[in-house]
Amino acid sequence: MSKTTDIRIVRVDTNTEEYAYRTPMKFGGRVVTDVTLRNVVIEVETRGGRRAQGFGSMPVGNVWAWPSQTLPPDKTLQAMVLFGSHFQAWLGEYKGIGHPLEITEEWSSAYDYVARSVEEHLHLSERMPRLAQLVAASPFEAALHDAYGRVLEQNSYNVLGKEFANADLSHYLSAEFRGEYLDQYTHREPTPRMPLYHLVGALDPLTDADLKERLNDGLPETLPEWIMFNGLTHLKIKLNGDDLRWDVERVLAIHAVTAETQRKRACERWFYSADFNVRCQNVEYVLEFMLRIKERAPEAFDRLQYIEQPTHRDLRAHPENRMHRAAEIKPVVIDESLVDFQSLLLSREMGYSGVALKTCKGHSEALLMAAAAQKYKLFLCVQDLTCPGYSFLHSASLAARIPGVAAIEGNARQYCPVANRGWEDRYPSMFRITDGTVGTGVLNGRGLGFEPLAWL
């Protein structure tokens, strides 16, 4: 089947930008001090000859997507950046035509081929993980979906139904989705406002006593200052996962500081999430963690909204890491292991009760996993990859279009505000936070819903 709205790729341009972090971020036992952004412009043409350009941008998150035990971070970064260049070359020969869901499905079958070319070129001693491939390719997917909306002069979330797609969701997921399309699982208008999750990294100072010296750059530097500055109500806590005492004490310290600050501002409703970055050995660690928090600070436990994937990201290699007991207490969301529909099904079998959506894994994948999560009545949240500027708006636009999303994460304003320059003026409700929420109602334009500051 084909439609007059089907598109083909005419041209692909790409470049990278580098920014230093304002302060270091520690997660998963690793410290990040800078970011490389991959920017992509894709020009498309419909069967009827209409043309338009779309834009995509995403951090090359090698430390998160490829935490190698044998390759240094600079080598995995080099490989993921090179993946983008090799994929651009592969697209130069690509002749596919169709809806973006179909095109990106064809793309995904080539990711292994592109990764192998990178591994051979750099003489790497290990294979590029699937997650790293998805992250490296994600700005291309974003640009394609953005271009599709723009060439049809519509919002990209409103061109996902039967009128536009050539196949229903059973083609991408399973037979239980027969006759269904993504328009059944997305809003026609963005949610006007959404709570913002603020990151409390393992190195982040909680009080003045934790500061060696102040940056004095005009931004908050302690947790109470951030809470007051942004009116925060949602805090995401980075934990070690291999030091139970430290993890418990860290949460209790954060709660003590937060509770005092929130009561000063007469705020009674706030939440936490806990992120172990897959470093827990087993579910018993998580159960003991929750038990100790509940015993020592019942209020902190009650405010714990969900737990991110706590154990090893290779689910099949660790079938013993079942989350059923933990998920009976709090939602446990799959994150690093979620790379396709089969991994979502496996995570459900292993007791996971929620899904963390990330645009850095690809826009099509995020939409499809959102549909599956809703079908299976799973807890939903949207997180970013310390995404600044355009990439944060992309993540937020996804969150605002998916029913049931609890909140969104956006921490570039903490760690890499320099990359947000220019964006604050164009979209102040998204970057100048005063009441703990972001004004996602503005993300209702053509394409992914917003305009880039500049084209390549």
How do residues 365-382 score in pLDDT, each as one tens digit? Answer: 999 999 999 999 999 999
The percent of residues above 70 in pLDDT, for the chain, comes to: 100
Mean pLDDT across the chain: 97
pLDDT of residue 265: 97
What H or E segment, with its residue span, contains residue 133? helix 130-151
CA distance 370 to 355: 8
The percent of residues above 90 in pLDDT, for the chain, comes to: 98
How do residues 43-97 score in pLDDT, each as one tens digit? Answer: 999 999 999 999 999 999 999 999 999 999 999 999 999 999 999 999 999 999 9
- pLDDT at 29 exceeding the cut of 90: no
- pLDDT at 243 exceeding the cut of 90: yes
How many whole angstroms from its chain centre is CA 78? Answer: 21
pLDDT of residue 239: 97
Q: What does the DSSP 8-state code read for residue 152?
A: T
Measure the CA angle with vertex 397, ends 277 and 130; round to 5°: 40
Cut 0.75: pTM above it: yes
Cβ neighbours around 282 below 10 Å, total: 14
Q: How confident is the model at residue 263 (pLDDT cuts 50, 70, 90)?
A: very high
Sort 48 into a burial class: Cβ within 10 Å, 0-12 / 13-18 / 19+.
exposed
Is the separation of the CB atoms in 360 and 58 below 8 Å?
A: yes
pLDDT of residue 412: 97
Amino acid letter for position 418: V
How do residues 162-188 score in pLDDT, each as one tens digit? Answer: 999 999 999 999 999 999 999 999 999
pLDDT of residue 456: 81
Is the separation of the CB atoms in 369 and 355 below 8 Å?
A: yes
Residue 98 phi, psi (nearest 5): 160, -160
- Dig out the tokens for 279 from the structure: 């470093």
Q: How confident is the model at residue 28 (pLDDT cuts 50, 70, 90)?
A: confident
CA distance 222 to 207: 5
Amino acid letter for position 1: M
Q: What does the DSSP 8-state code read for residue 95?
A: -
Hey, which residues does 238 pair with through a beta bridge?
275
pLDDT of residue 300: 98
Interacting residues of 191 by C-beta distance below 8 A, sequence separation 6+ = 399, 400, 401, 405, 440, 441
CA distances from 259 to 195, 272, 281, 290, 292 (A): 18, 12, 31, 19, 18
* Closest by CA position to 223, among listed 270, 177, 185: 270
Interacting residues of 379 by C-beta distance below 8 A, sequence separation 6+ = 306, 331, 333, 353, 354, 355, 406
pLDDT of residue 455: 86
CA distance 314 to 230: 37
pLDDT of residue 231: 98
Is the separation of the CB atoms in 142 and 59 below 8 Å?
A: no
- pLDDT at 1 exceeding the cut of 80: no
**Mean pLDDT, to the nearest integer, of 301-317?**
97
Cβ neighbours around 88 below 10 Å, total: 17
How do residues 114-139 score in pLDDT, each as one tens digit? Answer: 999 999 999 999 999 999 999 999 99
